[in-house]
């Protein structure tokens, strides 16, 4: 009976660690997308000839970021 309790506690611990790991990975992904958006914002301001296409890309990335 004691072994079952120990095993259940270990399973709970592993699940918490897995959830935390997934959250960290999602946060890293979101930060990377945000950096891309910032970069494209700068490009859109400096390159007026490409401004329209860059603005479209920025909007697409911002929509993706909110999803």
Mean residue pLDDT of the chain comes to 76
**Tokens found for residue 44:** 């859109």
Burial of 40 (0-12, 13-18, 19+ CB in 10 A): buried
Per the structure, the complete domain to which residue 24 belongs is given by 2-66
Provide the domain count of the chain: 1
* Residue 14, pLDDT score: 86
Nearest 10 degrees: CA dihedral of 8, 14, 20, 23?
Answer: -100
Confidence of residue 59 (pLDDT cuts 50, 70, 90): confident
Q: What is the pTM of this model?
A: 0.48
What sign for the dihedral angle of Cα 46, 47, 52, 53?
A: negative
The runs of H, that is alpha helices, within the chain are 2-46, 51-66
Is it the case that residue 19 has pLDDT exceeding 70?
yes
């Amino acid at each position: 009976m004691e072994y079952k309790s120990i095993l259940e506690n270990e399973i709970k611990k592993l699940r918490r660690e897995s959830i935390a790991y997934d959250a960290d990975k999602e946060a890293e992904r979101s930060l990377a997308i945000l950096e891309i958006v910032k970069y494209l914002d700068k490009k859109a301001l400096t390159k007026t000839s490409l401004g329209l296409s860059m603005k479209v890309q920025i909007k697409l990335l911002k929509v993706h970021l909110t999803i």
